[in-house]
Protein backbone atom coordinates (compact mmCIF):
# COMPACT_ATOMS: atom_id res chain seq x y z
CA UNK A 1 0.00 0.00 0.00
CA UNK A 2 2.77 2.45 0.92
CA UNK A 3 4.52 1.82 -2.40
CA UNK A 4 1.28 2.23 -4.37
CA UNK A 5 0.52 5.53 -2.66
CA UNK A 6 4.04 6.70 -3.43
CA UNK A 7 3.74 5.73 -7.11
CA UNK A 8 0.35 7.43 -7.43
CA UNK A 9 1.43 10.48 -5.45
CA UNK A 10 -1.47 10.11 -3.03
CA UNK A 11 -1.07 11.35 0.53
CA UNK A 12 -2.25 9.06 3.33
CA UNK A 13 -4.59 11.85 4.47
CA UNK A 14 -6.58 11.22 1.28
CA UNK A 15 -7.05 7.48 1.89
CA UNK A 16 -10.00 5.79 3.55
CA UNK A 17 -9.51 2.24 4.78
CA UNK A 18 -12.31 -0.12 5.74
CA UNK A 19 -11.54 -3.28 7.68
CA UNK A 20 -12.87 -5.95 9.97
CA UNK A 21 -9.88 -7.86 11.32
CA UNK A 22 -6.51 -7.56 12.95
CA UNK A 23 -4.87 -8.05 9.56
CA UNK A 24 -6.24 -4.61 8.63
CA UNK A 25 -4.23 -2.77 11.31
CA UNK A 26 -1.25 -2.06 8.99
CA UNK A 27 -3.68 -0.71 6.38
CA UNK A 28 -5.23 1.55 9.01
CA UNK A 29 -1.79 2.98 9.79
CA UNK A 30 -1.45 4.11 6.16
CA UNK A 31 -4.88 5.73 6.02
CA UNK A 32 -6.12 9.14 6.97
CA UNK A 33 -9.66 7.97 7.68
CA UNK A 34 -10.29 4.55 9.18
CA UNK A 35 -13.65 2.76 9.21
CA UNK A 36 -14.19 -0.44 11.15
CA UNK A 37 -16.92 -2.82 10.12
CA UNK A 38 -19.57 -3.41 12.77
CA UNK A 39 -18.36 -6.99 13.19
CA UNK A 40 -14.72 -5.91 13.77
CA UNK A 41 -12.99 -6.64 17.03
CA UNK A 42 -12.46 -4.05 19.75
CA UNK A 43 -8.80 -3.43 18.82
CA UNK A 44 -9.66 -2.33 15.28
CA UNK A 45 -12.68 -0.33 16.42
CA UNK A 46 -10.47 1.53 18.92
CA UNK A 47 -8.17 2.63 16.09
CA UNK A 48 -10.98 3.71 13.77
CA UNK A 49 -12.50 7.11 13.10
CA UNK A 50 -15.91 5.56 12.49
CA UNK A 51 -17.75 2.25 12.72
CA UNK A 52 -20.17 1.17 10.01
CA UNK A 53 -22.63 -1.71 9.76
CA UNK A 54 -21.43 -5.34 9.86
CA UNK A 55 -20.40 -7.13 6.67
CA UNK A 56 -23.70 -9.01 6.58
CA UNK A 57 -25.59 -5.71 6.52
CA UNK A 58 -23.57 -4.18 3.64
CA UNK A 59 -21.31 -2.12 5.88
CA UNK A 60 -18.82 -1.38 3.09
CA UNK A 61 -21.54 0.05 0.85
CA UNK A 62 -22.84 2.10 3.77
CA UNK A 63 -19.36 3.50 4.50
CA UNK A 64 -18.86 4.45 0.86
CA UNK A 65 -22.25 6.17 0.78
CA UNK A 66 -21.59 8.04 4.03
CA UNK A 67 -18.00 9.11 3.52
CA UNK A 68 -17.19 8.99 -0.20
CA UNK A 69 -20.27 9.32 -2.40
CA UNK A 70 -22.34 12.47 -2.00
CA UNK A 71 -25.31 13.24 -4.25
CA UNK A 72 -24.25 10.54 -6.69
CA UNK A 73 -20.71 11.91 -7.01
CA UNK A 74 -17.44 10.88 -5.44
CA UNK A 75 -16.23 13.58 -3.06
CA UNK A 76 -12.63 14.61 -2.78
pLDDT tens across the length of the chain (76 residues)? 999 999 999 999 999 999 999 999 999 999 999 999 999 999 999 999 999 999 999 999 999 999 998 766 766 6
* Dist CA 66 CA 76 (whole Å): 13
pLDDT (0 to 100) of residue 70? 77
pTM of the entire predicted model? 0.88
Q: CA–CA separation, 75 vs 67, rounded Å?
A: 8
Residue 17 confidence (pLDDT)? 96
Residue 46: predicted pLDDT: 97
Domain 2-74, CATH number (from 3.30.365.10, 3.40.718.10, 2.40.30.10, 3.40.50.1000): 3.40.50.1000
Do the beta carbons of residue 6 and residue 31 sit within 8 Å?
no
Q: Where are the domains of the chain?
A: 2-74
Amino acid sequence: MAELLKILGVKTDNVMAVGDGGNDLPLFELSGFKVAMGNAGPELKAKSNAVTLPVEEDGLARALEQYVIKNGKITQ
